[in-house]
């Protein structure tokens, strides 16, 4: 049985901007990876921005940041004096 | 950040160890380069002013989602653990946050050098003393022109006088205080007058920022200088610095945000000071490593997003609420971060074979992105001539100062 207490749900907001989590597949055979986020008012502008930054990618996926549920092992809200390996 | 005064006048200024790995004086050049980034933390998006060129696109009301005091302290803990040498508390206007003194104190307690970037208008004498007591190492106050120019740019009449009051409050408290000045078409003519005025107030450190094309700065690109005008103003600053020093006033002058300046300083030294001095300037700047985006400077915005520089707010590598800063910053599986850290292999156009690419590294990737749609294209604000880009570096003894001529306007 998995102990889901290992992870904490991260509550965070994008402030007053629209943020798009960005994923790229570096090559046709590689797996998709998260490469951060772009801030843009519309999907079209977000796509343009991601495409200029990751022009070599085989695929680009964008997801509105507010649609993502994040469960993290080491979120800021749980961190105390010093993270183990930072 | 390029210290004009240090390079041209040999001034050993506080903090230069971070830029040149030269803790022991101007004649020592060490192998070690700064390995951990200086972190700019935009503690809030709120500001009491509305400046035309604000890279953070600050608003008069704070945005939702700001890191709380407790989160800020945890963040500082992990920045200290990661080895960050300096945190620059910025905004918006950081002094609209009530807890900024507490956060500055926390950074100082954790061994980080806390510095402040402020518009100065909220700096009362009491606040300046509290910040000093908390351990603030330096306050950089933004002024953009003489009163009329500054107030129009900053969107508030009286902002200039209020900033000068703030500077005086800091100086009275014994805080090291300097000017931050963004050079644009509208502010360039006021530059010598502002240096003169603030030097009389007691300021001895003057940082001049080139406009980067982020935030509202992108919308005022049209107000930016032409490359030829930029060359003239950098030359003027070099001349002015040397004139002040010749008169016994050891002001510190710095240029920020355009590493073609580094190449120009070598050229200037070659012409005005001779090949030996030019070689020394070149070596310093080569160790300094050129444009720092994604390497020697990092930015964390008010909501915890980590950016490649403070001006590059529309792209984030990750968020410190999800993942510790150190893990985000060292994750070179991110292809953009990996390319930036290895950018010599990706520079294109005139940068690809420029003799100064070691001291410049293609200039600002953000300006290149804004103008050419490619962060590895040449900085559109490079003002070096073709002849200068094809010289022998480091400068050799046979180089006659007369062989360097200024381009015709
Ligand atoms: S050509 Fe490129 S590398 Fe050379 S000084 Fe200009 S921006 Fe820098």
Instruction: Evaluate if residue B186 carries a pLDDT over 80.
Output: yes
Sheet holding B252-256, edge to edge: B2-3, B252-256, B205-210, B177-183, B138-142, B113-118, B86-90, B38-42, B297-300, B305-307, B318-319
Cα dist from B292 to A29, B225, B268, whole Å: 33, 22, 22
Higher pLDDT residue, B47 or A41?
A41
CB of B65 less than 8 A from some CB of A = yes
Contacts of A24 in chain B (CB under 8 A): 335
Percent of chain A with pLDDT over 70: 92
Prior bond to A46 cis, omega within 30? Answer: no
Q: Nearest C-alpha of chain B: how many angstroms from A75?
A: 5
**In this structure, what token pair is assigned to residue B98?**
């009530």
Range of lowest pLDDT (B25-34, B123-132, B191-200, B398-407): B25-34
Partners of residue B140 on adjacent β-strands: B117, B178
Residue whose C-alpha is closest to residue B251's, from B3, B2, B73, B1: B3
Strand bridging mode B252-256 / B205-210: parallel
Question: What is the structure's pLDDT at B392?
Answer: 85
CA distance A83 to B55: 31
Assign A3 a pLDDT band (cuts: 50, 70, 90).
confident
Residue with tokens 């935009």: B42
**pLDDT tens-digit series, residues B368-389:** 999 999 999 999 999 999 999 9
**pLDDT tens-digit series, residues B340-353:** 999 999 999 999 99
- Are the beta carbons of B183 and B53 closer than 8 angstroms? no
Residue with tokens 């980034």: B37
Contacts of B55 (CB under 8 A, 6+ apart): B212, B214, B215, B216, B217, B310, B311, B313
What phi and psi values does residue A26 have, to the nearest 5 degrees? -60, -40
Prior bond to B92 cis, omega within 30? Answer: yes
Assign B219 a pLDDT band (cuts: 50, 70, 90).
low
**In this structure, what token pair is assigned to residue B138?**
């330096």
Find the mean pLDDT for residues A17-26.
Answer: 94
- Are the beta carbons of B194 and B181 closer than 8 angstroms? yes
Contacts of A33 in chain B (CB under 8 A): 333
Report the b/e string of B82-96 with b at 16+ CB within 10 A: bebbbbbbbbbbbbb
Question: What is the structure's pLDDT at B14?
Answer: 42
Q: Mean of the per-residue pLDDT values for chain B? A: 87
**pLDDT tens-digit series, residues B118-162:** 999 999 999 999 999 999 999 999 998 998 888 888 877 888 999
Q: Whose CA is nearest to atom 1 of ligand 1?
A: B351
Q: Nearest C-alpha of chain B: how many angstroms from A28?
A: 15
Instruction: Evaluate if residue B82 carries a pLDDT over 60.
Output: yes
Give the CA angle between residues B111, B113, B119 to the nearest 5°.
145
Find the mean pLDDT for residues B317-324.
Answer: 95
CB of A9 less than 8 A from some CB of B = no
Find the mean pLDDT for residues A28-57.
Answer: 95
Instruction: Evaluate if residue B58 carries a pLDDT over 70.
Output: no
Question: What is the structure's pLDDT at B397?
Answer: 76
Assign B257 a pLDDT band (cuts: 50, 70, 90).
very high
What end-to-end distance do the CA atoms of chain B give, in Å?
Answer: 27
Q: Is B117 helix (H, G, I), strand (E, B) or coil?
A: strand
The residues lining ligand 1, judged by C-beta closer than 6 Å to any ligand atom, are: B 259-260, 263, 350-351, 354, 356-357, 360, 362-363, 378-379, 382, 384, 389
Question: What is the structure's pLDDT at B251?
Answer: 93
Find the mean pLDDT for residues B316-325.
Answer: 96
Question: What is the structure's pLDDT at B25?
Answer: 39
CA distance B116 to B166: 13
Find the mean pLDDT for residues B170-197.
Answer: 93
Question: What is the structure's pLDDT at A29?
Answer: 93
- Are the beta carbons of B300 and B75 closer than 8 angstroms? yes
Alpha-helical (H) ranges within B247-342 are 260-272, 275-288, 325-329, 335-341
Find the mean pLDDT for residues B293-322.
Answer: 95
Question: What is the structure's pLDDT at B55?
Answer: 59
Please give the model's pTM, rounded to 2 decimal places: 0.90
- Quick one: fold of A17-70? Ubiquitin-like (UB roll) (3.10.20)
**pLDDT tens-digit series, residues B24-34:** 333 333 444 56
How big is chain A by its Cα radius of gyration, in Å? Answer: 16
Instruction: Evaluate if residue B409 carries a pLDDT over 80.
Output: no
User: Which one of B265, B347, B357, B390 would you pick to mutate in the ligand 1 pocket, going by the greatest count of ligand atoms within 8 A of its CB?
Assistant: B357
Q: Nearest C-alpha of chain A: how many angstroms from B352?
A: 19
**pLDDT tens-digit series, residues B1-50:** 899 999 999 843 444 554 544 433 333 334 445 689 999 999 998 887 66
- The domains of chain A are located at 17-70
Q: B69-82 vs B100-109: helix axis angle to the nearest 10?
A: 30
Q: Which own/partner contact pairs does A38-47 have at CB distance under 8 Å and 24+ positions apart?
A: A38/A62, A38/B314, A38/B315, A38/B316, A39/A14, A39/B313, A39/B314, A39/B315, A39/B316, A40/B314, A42/A18, A46/A18, A46/A20, A46/A22
Assign B104 a pLDDT band (cuts: 50, 70, 90).
very high
**In this structure, what token pair is assigned to residue A42?**
């519309």
Query: Measured in angstroms, how far is the CA atom of residue B360 from the centroid of ligand 1?
Result: 6
Instruction: Evaluate if residue B403 carries a pLDDT over 50.
Output: no
Question: What is the structure's pLDDT at B11?
Answer: 42
Residue whose C-alpha is closest to residue B140's, from B193, B96, B102, B176: B176
Cα dist from B41 to B4, B58, B300, B367, B407, whole Å: 26, 14, 5, 21, 40
Q: How far is CA B319 from the centre of its chain?
A: 23
Q: Which helix (H) or strand (E) holds B41?
A: strand B38-42
Question: What is the structure's pLDDT at A84?
Answer: 43
Cα dist from A64 to A26, A44, A61, B64, B110, whole Å: 21, 12, 10, 17, 36
Question: What is the structure's pLDDT at B27?
Answer: 37
Question: What is the structure's pLDDT at B13?
Answer: 40
């Amino acid at each position: 049985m998995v102990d889901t207490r290992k992870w904490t749900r991260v509550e965070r907001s994008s402030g007053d901007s629209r943020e798009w989590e960005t994923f790229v597949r570096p090559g046709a055979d590689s797996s998709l990876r998260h490469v951060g986020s772009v801030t843009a008012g519309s999907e079209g502008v977000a796509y343009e921005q991601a495409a200029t930054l990751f022009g070599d990618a085989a695929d680009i996926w964008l997801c509105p940041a507010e649609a993502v549920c994040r469960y993290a092992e080491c979120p800021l809200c749980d961190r105390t004096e010093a993270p183990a390996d930072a | 950040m390029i210290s004009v005064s240090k390079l041209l006048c040999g001034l050993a200024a506080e903090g230069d160890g971070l830029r040149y790995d030269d803790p022991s004086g101007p004649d020592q050049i060490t192998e070690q380069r700064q390995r951990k980034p200086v972190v700019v933390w935009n503690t809030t998006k709120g500001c009491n002013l509305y400046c035309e060129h604000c890279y953070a696109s600050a608003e008069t009301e704070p945005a939702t989602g700001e890191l709380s005091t407790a989160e800020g302290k945890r963040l500082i803990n992990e920045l200290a653990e990661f080895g960050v040498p300096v945190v620059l508390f910025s905004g918006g206007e950081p002094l609209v946050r009530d807890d900024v003194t507490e956060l500055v104190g926390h950074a100082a307690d954790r061994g980080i050098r806390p510095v402040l970037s402020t518009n100065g208008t909220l700096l009362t004498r009491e606040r300046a003393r509290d910040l000093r007591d908390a351990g603030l190492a330096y306050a950089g106050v933004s002024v953009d022109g003489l009163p009329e120019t500054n107030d129009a740019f900053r969107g508030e009449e009286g902002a200039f006088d209020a900033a000068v009051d703030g500077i005086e409050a800091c100086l009275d408290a014994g805080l090291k205080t300097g000017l931050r000045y963004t050079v644009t078409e509208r502010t360039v003519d006021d530059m010598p007058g502002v240096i003169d005025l603030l030097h009389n107030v007691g300021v001895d450190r003057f940082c001049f920022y080139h406009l980067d094309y982020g935030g509202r700065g992108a919308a005022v690109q049209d107000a930016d200088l032409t490359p030829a005008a930029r060359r003239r103003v950098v030359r003027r600053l070099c001349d002015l610095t040397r004139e002040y020093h010749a008169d016994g006033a050891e002001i510190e002058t710095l240029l920020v945000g355009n590493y073609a300046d580094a190449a120009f300083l070598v050229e200037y030294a070659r012409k005005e000071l001779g090949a030996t001095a030019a070689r020394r300037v070149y070596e310093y700047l080569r160790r300094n490593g050129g444009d720092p985006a994604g390497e020697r400077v990092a930015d964390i915005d008010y909501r915890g997003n980590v950016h490649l520089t403070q001006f590059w707010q529309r792209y984030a590598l990750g968020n410190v609420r999800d993942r510790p800063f150190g893990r985000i910053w060292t994750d070179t599986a991110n292809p953009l971060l990996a390319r930036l850290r290895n950018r010599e292999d990706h520079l294109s156009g005139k940068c690809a074979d420029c003799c100064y690419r070691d001291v410049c590294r293609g200039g600002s990737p953000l300006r290149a992105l804004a103008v050419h749609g490619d962060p590895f294209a040449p900085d559109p604000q490079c003002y070096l001539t073709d002849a200068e880009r094809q010289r022998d570096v480091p400068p050799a003894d046979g180089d006659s100062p007369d062989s360097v001529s200024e381009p015709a306007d």
